[in-house]
């Protein structure tokens, strides 16, 4: 019985993993944002996003990431449909997707801070839509 439970957890985890093509795309997005002087941010700050929520440089980078990943539109507005799709890619329990979207897709201040908080919410809620720095 215990072995069946472990197998179910492993299978569920495998179903919720970010596809390699998407992970590669996110890495390319990150590299592209880092290559632009206007959106470059020190990697140590990005790895500690929770400490740099109000940092303009980090905000510019995260907004660049959000736009290129399709999570935010060109004008900085959140694209709820795309956010829902990306969360669903990595969420085994599809009944939780709408709740996670409501929790994470929140406009806060300006587009940069909204992007920072969106990505931080992904991390804090184990939404593995990340390329892993």
Residue 61 belongs to some domain of the structure? yes
Residue 116 belongs to some domain of the structure? yes
Give me the numbers of helices (H) and strands (E) for the chain, helices first please: 7, 0
Q: Can you say how many angstroms the Cα of residue 70 is from the centroid of all Cα atoms in its chain?
A: 11
Residue 10 belongs to some domain of the structure? no
- Contact (Cβ atoms closer than 8 angstroms) between residue 83 and residue 13: no
Q: Using alpha carbons only, what angle is made at residue 62 by residues 86 and 108, rounded to the nearest 5 degrees? A: 85
Residue 4 belongs to some domain of the structure? no
**Of 104, 100, 97, whose CA–CA distance to 120 is shortest?**
104
For residue 48, the enclosing domain spans: 20-125
CATH classification of the domain holding 26: 1.10.238.20
Those residues of the chain that have pLDDT short of 70 are 1-16, 132-133
Residue 72 belongs to some domain of the structure? yes
Residue 98 belongs to some domain of the structure? yes
Give strand pairing partners of 78.
72
4-19 pLDDT tens trace: 434 344 444 445 688 9
Q: What is the mean pLDDT of the chain?
A: 89
Residue 131 belongs to some domain of the structure? no
Count of the separate structural domains present in the chain: 1
Residue 109, pLDDT score: 87
């Amino acid at each position: 019985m215990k072995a069946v439970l472990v197998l179910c957890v492993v299978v569920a985890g495998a179903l919720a993993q970010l596809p390699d093509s998407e992970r590669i795309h996110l890495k390319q997005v990150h590299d592209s944002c880092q290559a632009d002087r206007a959106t470059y941010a020190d990697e140590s700050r990005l790895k500690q996003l929770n400490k740099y929520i109000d940092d303009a440089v980090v905000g510019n980078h995260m907004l660049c990431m959000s736009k290129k990943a399709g999570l935010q539109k060109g004008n900085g507005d959140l694209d709820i449909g795309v956010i829902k799709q990306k969360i669903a890619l990595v969420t085994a329990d599809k009944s939780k997707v709408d709740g996670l979207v409501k929790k994470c897709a929140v406009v806060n201040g300006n587009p940069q801070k909204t992007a920072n908080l969106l990505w931080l919410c992904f991390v804090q809620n184990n939404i593995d839509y990340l390329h892993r720095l």
